[in-house]
């Protein structure tokens, strides 16, 4: 296939113009020059529109943004402004949400191994509820409550319904063999409901299940909803959360259910199971993925006759781990010529000292690709920056939001000084001991 990049993979406001592709009214080539590369670019209007579609489909108060997909202060504020709750999965994510001004009662805390500090912080902040994942966690909450002065902690119990879905084994979370939640099949979920209902430390708000991520078939999400709804009806709890998992198109031709279709399918499944209440969901990827893209600068082009062409860029697995982790597939294009045919087949790789540092294994690129070109990979708004690392001591990229012809920096680029910030400087005594050791070994 040598066609141009599909518009279905680009942010909502993407438009072609004299300077190539623009997003939010700002040319991508200008963003690359102004902010440097690698660079995460988010279409703010796209983000807001997806939030509004989710709320329209499920109702106000029934949508929590799964912030693990992408979180910074600006994103937390945006989701809150659009009426979404914030779903956080660690003390660090909780800190960012609170720093963004999101009230505690608009935050829910997830995580399969929350420590007492995280629980204490969440309880102190007055979070909407804690999604409890294990009996050990119930033990911790009861110990904190026993210290005195605490009202019962609102909790929702995470259930492993025996239904697993998703594009890769590593992101299928709802099966019986899962690190997450109380199992239905072995009776653990029923026992957890009894304990939480009877404990003076907890106020049982409902049950929760999440079957997996990057799910492109709404029927699989409905299956998970049906299983946990049946359990909710049997136990008489008052709240039902069916998690997230709605997928996005990473390559041309992939069909993706809409929020409205997702809502219709899971509501119908819950009704079939006898549930008559509201259904809460936790979308993340489906809010942010297509809203974002990554800009790179091409550094080398290596042609191996009869084998393949390698195109190396100035980022890699430190800003997009998904290809190495999940064998995820992406497409690429040149912002200066977004409608150009892409007959050149090449492996797009990063600059890390790993053969597995592959961004796109078999990319389609324009024939006139050259060193110093700006290269874009679309649909990187979820689990790109969120999973970014400092492997090989590469500073993490900057993040910009674009809207109405303006770009604003929401996360600055790390510097090499930032990379040294956590290193502990040696004391005078350390230096003295080091000098003695070197001398004893005959060094200078």
Question: Residue 117 and residue 367: Cα distance in Å, rounded?
Answer: 55
Which residue in 381, 403, 376, 378 sits closest to 286, CA to CA?
381
Q: Express the helix, strand and coil content of the chain in percent, nearest 5 each.
A: 35, 25, 40
Those residues whose C-beta lies under 8 Å from the C-beta of residue 303, and which sit 6 or more positions away, are 309, 310
- In 3-state terms, what secondary structure has residue 247? coil
For 23, 244, 258, the CA distances from 113, given in Å and listed in that order, are 39, 20, 32
Q: Catalytic: 353?
A: yes
Question: Residue 215 and residue 246: Cα distance in Å, rounded?
Answer: 5
- In 3-state terms, what secondary structure has residue 149? coil
Question: Residue 149 and residue 145: Cα distance in Å, rounded?
Answer: 7
- In 3-state terms, what secondary structure has residue 48? helix
Tell me how many degrees the CA angle 423-395-13 measures, rounded to the nearest 5.
145
Question: Residue 408 and residue 41: Cα distance in Å, rounded?
Answer: 10
Active-site residue (options: 60, 304, 353, 428): 353
Neighbour count for residue 71 (Cβ, 10 Å): 25
Q: Give the CB-side neighbour count of residue 99, counting CA atoms within 13 A.
A: 12
Asked if the peptide bond before residue 38 counts as cis, ω within 30 degrees of 0, the response is: yes
Q: Check residue 431 and give left, alpha or beta (phi > 0: left; psi -120 to 50: alpha).
A: alpha
Which residue in 283, 354, 268 sits closest to 312, CA to CA?
354
Cβ 56 vs Cβ 274: under 8 Å: no
Antiparallel, parallel or unpaired: β 240-241 and 202-208:
parallel
Cβ 162 vs Cβ 185: under 8 Å: yes
Bridge partners of 1? none
Cβ 182 vs Cβ 189: under 8 Å: yes
**DSSP run (H or E) holding 109:** strand 107-109
Q: Active-site residues: which are they?
A: 353
């Amino acid at each position: 296939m040598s066609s141009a990049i599909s518009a279905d993979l680009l942010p909502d406001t993407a438009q072609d113009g004299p300077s190539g592709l623009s997003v939010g009214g700002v040319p991508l080539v200008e963003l690359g020059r102004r902010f440097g590369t690698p660079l995460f670019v988010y279409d703010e209007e796209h983000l807001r529109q997806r939030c509004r579609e989710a709320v329209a489909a499920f109702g106000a108060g029934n949508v929590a943004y799964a912030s693990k997909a992408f979180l910074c202060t600006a994103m937390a504020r945006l989701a809150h402004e659009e009426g979404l709750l914030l779903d956080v999965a660690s003390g660090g994510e909780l800190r960012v949400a609170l720093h963004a001004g999101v009230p505690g009662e608009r935050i829910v805390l997830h995580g399969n191994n929350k420590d007492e500090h995280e629980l204490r912080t969440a309880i102190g902040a007055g979070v909407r509820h804690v999604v409890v994942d294990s009996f050990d966690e119930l033990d911790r909450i009861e110990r904190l409550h026993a210290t005195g002065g605490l009202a019962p902690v609102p909790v929702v119990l995470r259930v492993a319904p025996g239904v697993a879905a998703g594009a890769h084994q590593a992101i299928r979370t709802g099966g019986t063999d899962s690190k997450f939640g109380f199992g239905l099949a072995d009776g653990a979920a029923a026992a957890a409901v009894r304990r939480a209902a009877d404990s003076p430390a907890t106020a049982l708000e409902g049950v929760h299940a999440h079957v997996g991520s990057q799910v492109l078939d709404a029927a699989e999400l409905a299956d998970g909803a049906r299983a946990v709804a049946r359990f909710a009806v049997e136990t008489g709890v008052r709240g039902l959360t069916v998690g997230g998992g709605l997928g996005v198109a990473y390559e041309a031709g992939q069909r993706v259910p809409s929020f409205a279709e997702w809502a219709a399918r899971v509501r119908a499944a819950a009704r079939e199971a006898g549930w008559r209440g509201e259904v809460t969901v936790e979308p993340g990827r489906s809010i942010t993925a297509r809203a974002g893209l990554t800009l790179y600068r091409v550094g080398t082009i290596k042609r191996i006759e009869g084998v393949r062409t390698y195109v190396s860029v100035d980022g890699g697995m430190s800003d997009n781990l998904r290809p190495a982790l999940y064998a995820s597939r992406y497409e690429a294009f040149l912002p200066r010529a977004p409608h150009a045919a892409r007959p050149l087949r090449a492996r797009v790789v990063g600059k890390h000292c790993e053969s597995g540092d592959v961004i796109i294994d078999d990319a389609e690129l324009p024939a006139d690709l050259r060193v110093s070109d700006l290269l874009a990979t679309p649909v990187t708004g979820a689990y790109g920056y969120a999973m970014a690392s400092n492997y090989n001591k590469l500073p993490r990229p900057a993040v910009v939001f674009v809207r109405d012809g303006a770009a604003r920096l929401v996360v600055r680029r790390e510097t090499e000084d930032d990379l040294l910030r956590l290193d502990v400087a040696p004391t005078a005594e350390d230096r003295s001991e080091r000098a003695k050791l070197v001398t004893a070994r005959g060094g200078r």
